A and B are shown apart, each in its own frame.
Chain A
Amino acid sequence: MNTLRSLLLWCTLLLGLPGTGLAQQAAADDAEANATWQQVRKAMFQGRDITSPAPDVIGIEAPDRAQDAAIVPLSIRTHIDQRAERYIEKLYLVIDNNPSPVGAVFHFTPASGRADIETRVRIEAYTHVRAIAQMNDGELFMTTRFVKASGGCSAPPGKDMTAALANLGKMRFRVEAAADGKVEAGKPALAQLMISHPNNSGLAMDQLTRLYTPAYFVRHIQVSYAGEPVLRAEVDFSISENPNFRFYFLPHGEGELKAEVIDTNDLRFESALKISPR
C-alpha cells in the first residue's frame, strides 16, 4: 500500500502533467517507446524482462473509441488456471497518459480461481492502456491496447453532490449463479462488486465556484471467501465514479464472500454474501 502510494506520488512528481498535446498524438504502434511507460517500467519493474504480447497469458478488451472518457469499460482476461504451484499473483493496470499512470494493482491467490478483472476507468487523453501480470515466480507478461478517449462536454446534469453522498458507500454485491441460484464447488464463480462513491480525482474544477473538488476516492478493496483472501486491490482515481469490479473466486463448501472497502477519508464499508455451492 505505502509502496504504491509513494510510487504514485513519485510518478506524478517526476512526470509533471502528461496528457499534453504531444502525448495525445501518441500513435498506436509505439507502445514500448512511450516516455511515461519507460518511467513506470523503470520504477516498478527495474530491468526485468516483460513478455509482450503474451496472448496465452493475458489480454485486454476496451472500446477503440470510448463512449464517455469518464467511464471507459475495461476487461482484463487471463488464460492461466490459478494453481498453487503456478498462478498470477499481481495485475498492474497502467494508463500511460493519465495524471497518475498506475491506476490499480490487483492481488490474487489460488483461491481466486481466475485472475480476470473487469472495471471502468477515466481516460483523460488518447493513451496506451496496459495490464501487466506478475506470476508467483516473478515472471512478467503484458498486454497493451490503445484507447481513444478524451474529456468532452463532460458532466451530465443530475443529482447534486449532497444527493450523491447520501448513497455513499452503499454496495451491491452479487454472484453469477445457475438457474437454481447456486454456484458449483471447485469451479471459478463470477462476482460483481458495485460501490456507490464519487471517486473524485481532485483534478476537476467546479466552473461555478472555480474551486477544485477535493480528491476523495476508494483506495483499498479486500475480498475474502470463507476467511481466505481472493482479491485485494489498491486503486486510485483512475477508477470511474461508482467503482465497479467483476472478478472470480473459487467456491468450496459453505462460506461467506465478504468485501471490505476503504476510502481516502479512511471510511470503511462492508458487504457480505452467503454462498452454499452445489
Chain B
Amino acid sequence: MDKNIVFRAAAIIIFLVLPLLVKSNYLLGILIIIGLYTIIVIGLGILMGYAGQVSFGHAAFFGLGAYSVAVLSTAYRWPTFAALLAAVVVPGLLAALIGRPTLKLKELYLVLATLAFGILVHIFFNEAREITGGPSGLTGIPYLSLGGLVFDRDIKFYYLVWSTVLLISLGVNNLIHSRVGRALRAIRESEHAAETSGIDTASLKLQAFVFSAVLAGLAGGLYAYYVTFISPSPFGFHTSVLFVLMAVVGGLGTFWGPLLGTGLVVALGEILRWAVPLAIPGAGGEYQIIFFGVILVVIMIVKPEGLGSIIKFSKKSVEKGVR
C-alpha cells in the first residue's frame, strides 16, 4: 500500500516536470494525445475489465464528443463549459439508448450493436454535410476557455488534459474500491452468482457502458478544442479497435493499465510510422494496422489479462478491495 502511494506520487511529479524537459512540440503533442486516449481507455477498461463487456464503437463516442464541441462552438457560439457538457451528454444518451436493450442479453449483442453504431456514426460524419462538413470536416474551433483562462498553447493543454486524467483515475480508483466496484467485479467473475447475490447486473453493466461513453465524449470534446479542426477520419472503426488494443495491452482492471497500454500503443504507432516505409517502400499508414492486429491476437492468447498484470503491487491493492 505504501509502495503504491510512493509510486503514484512519483508519477505525479513526473507528470508535472515532464513538459519542462520535453522541448519538442511533436513530443508534447503526443503526450497530450496519450492523455486524451487514456481517458477513453480508463472507461473502456471498466467496461471490459469489470463489467465483462467489450465495445467496438468507442471511436464513435469519441467522435460524437468532438463533433458536439465543433458544431456548437462554431455555428452556435456556445461557451466552453456548455459545449463540453454537450460533448458528454450526447454520447451518454446514445450509449444508454443502445445499451439498455442489448445489455440485458448475452454479451455478443453489445459487440454487434456497438460495431454497427460505430460504422453508422462514421457514415453520418461523412454524409451529413450540412452539420458535420462531410469528409472535409469543420475548422475554426475556438480555444478552450474556462473562467477567463484561455488554453491557447500546447503546454497549457498538457496540464489541463493530464489533470483531468489524474482526477478521473483517482475517482475511478475510489469507485472500484466501493460497493459499486465490488458489484462490478462480481459480475465479471460470475454473472449468475452476482445476480443471485441481489446485484442488478443489467443496470450496473449499463451504467459502466454509459460511463465509458461519457469519458470518450469528454476526451472527444477536449480533442476538438486541442486540434481546432476535425474531420471524420480519426473516428472510424480502426480507432475503436485501437482503443480495445490499448485497454488489453495495459491490462484490464488495474490502476496503471490504461496509461501503460495507451502509452505503449501510441508509441508503437509512431515508431511504425517511421519504420514501416523503410521496410516496405511505398507503404502507407494502412500497414501499421497489421502489426496491431497480430499483437492483439497474440496478447489475447498468451496473456488475456494484459501486460499491466506484471505490475504486481497494483493488482494486490485491487484484491485488497475485495476483502
A and B found bound together: no
Chain B interface (Cβ < 8 Å from any Cβ of A): none
Q: What is the interface of chain A, defined by CB distance below 8 A to chain B?
A: none
